[in-house]
Structure 1
Amino acid sequence: MRWEDFRTSEYVEDRRGQGGGGGFGIPMGGGGGLGIGTVIVLGLVGWALGIDPRILIGGAEMVTRGGGSGYERQAPPSPSRTGAPSDEVGRFAAAILGNTEDVWKEVLPAQVNRPYTPTPLVLYTRGTRSGCGAAQSAMGPFYCPLDRKVYLDTSFFQEMQRRFNAGGDFAYAYVIAHEVGHHIQNILGILPKVQARQREVGERESNQLSVRVELMADCLAGVWAKNSNAKWNAIDENDMREAVNAAQAIGDDRLQGRRGGEVMPDSFTHGSSAQRVRWLLTGFKSGQVQSCDTFRASRL
């Protein structure tokens, strides 16, 4: 993947080196219904250890406290460096983010008549605070709808390679694009509607809604890749294999199987490996946001 050709984003907050791995805690759900609420964020590493069925958003997803908006606002973090970092992994993340901005600022108005407002990317080490609660490296990357930011400890990329054999630049770009996909869902007003619906239903249907949110974000990552490649021609067949491999590695069935337990489809919150690959490729083949309506799809 020739990411060096991409413009680097100015919407990067670099909090790496600030520490903060301990002492934040993870806000847990109290009484009340489930939704996209106070955050407990679990990424691929967390999933490998055990999947929480209430997970919703991103590589790290959200658990409700119930009541109010479902979120608990947190104290603001320490000041961070802004703009494109100078190290390679930081420049990579800033370049992928910049390319998502360049793609979505054209695609979103043209296809759904909505302007695109960029989402900042917060890079951190070990732990930091988000508008949705604590962020810690073991929780994986996630999107916070309250502050409209993506959070990423870049050591997560090493975990993808070491633990899941799902490395490669385009696989890592897919992770970032998936979280930006949740930002697109927020712009379109989908996330608040899902949250409201989850408060009204039981756990099984709540999980099904979560799966549809996640598969749509996979599809939107594919839409980004298709439109980016049409203009920059920076993705080749090997890159797509990397992304497909990553999507397969993080399917709920694959992750539950890694733990040696029974695969339970009713507990899926992200979708099976086959579903994740299918929707990523759906977006890549069409390049159209409209093709990503997983909520209208009768069969996922």
Structure 2
Amino acid sequence: MAFTITPISLIALSITSKSNAQELPPDQVIQSMYAGVANIHGYQAIPKVYRPIPPGFNTSCGPMVKLNAFYCRRDHSIYISIPMVRWAYQYGDAALAYVIGHEYAHAMQNVYKFNSNNGPISELQADCLAGFYMAAVQNLVFDNRDIAEVRSFAYALGDFSNVWTEHHGTPKQRVAAVTFGMRANSPVRCKL
């Protein structure tokens, strides 16, 4: 299943935590975050989003790994696996918004040549940009519980393998990067 968001008016949505109110369904989180971030960039260079994708689904960048979300430069698309959506929702709907922001950040890094490095610096920069996007989108509101969801999920996504080619940063680095981005007043502040 694929979709492309076009400029639309969205009613102000509130992403809330489990203890606050009913969480938004994944499609609504994905579409709202995607539209909000696309609006920041004036709907230029918008990647397609394919979700939820079953493990093994063939993308232009190879088969979908079970627990993954990624930006594929070959077809300028974002792919999100079903298990990744489920894992994010174990932390809350704001965690899924963070995943969307992170992958959208990779698309913008590529389009605007923000950082072509594929190492941990690029990943932490994408975390920072995801935080900036979450704070800047006008069609979503994140409360303190949502921020805690994002920080907890960022920590869970961290790793310690400096030799692994897909190293994204340690748990503390990922939390620091997304938190810094939420406080940044410009995406340029995320340039590492």
Asked whether 1:151 is paired with 2:79, we answer yes
Provide closer, same or farther for how the CA distance between residues 134 and 290 of structure 1 changes in structure 2, counting only shifts above 3 A. same
Choose from 180, 184, 187 the match for 1:286: 184
What is the number of residues matched between the two proteins? 171
After TM superposition, the score normalised by the length of structure 1 is 0.52
Larger Rg: 1
Q: CA deviation at 1:188?
A: 1.5
Is the 1:157–1:167 Cα contact (8 Å) retained in structure 2? no
Choose from 20, 26, 38 the match for 1:89: 26
Asked whether 1:182 is paired with 2:106, we answer yes
For 1:116, the equivalent position in structure 2 comes to 44
Choose from 114, 117, 130 the match for 2:59: 130
Q: CA deviation at 1:154?
A: 3.1
**Cα distance between partner residues in 1 of 2:159 and 2:41:** 28
For 1:226, the equivalent position in structure 2 comes to 135
Q: CA deviation at 1:233?
A: 5.9
- Structure 1, unaligned stretches of length 5 or more? 1-8, 13-87, 106-114, 195-208, 254-263, 295-300
For 2:122, the equivalent position in structure 1 comes to 213
Note the 1:100-115 alignment, pairs <5 A.
Answer: 100-105=37-42
Provide closer, same or farther for how the CA distance between residues 146 and 245 of structure 1 changes in structure 2, counting only shifts above 3 A. same
After TM superposition, the score normalised by the length of structure 2 is 0.78
For 1:274, the equivalent position in structure 2 comes to 172
**Cα distance between partner residues in 1 of 2:140 and 2:122:** 29
Choose from 81, 95, 100 the match for 1:171: 95
* CA RMSD, 1 decimal: 2.5
Q: CA deviation at 1:223?
A: 1.1
Is the 1:104–1:224 Cα contact (8 Å) retained in structure 2? no
Letter in structure 1 aligned against 2:169: G
**Cα distance between partner residues in 2 of 1:139 and 1:248:** 16
Runs of 4+ in 1 over 4 A off after TM superposition: 264-268
Larger fraction in strand: 2
Q: CA deviation at 1:266?
A: 4.9
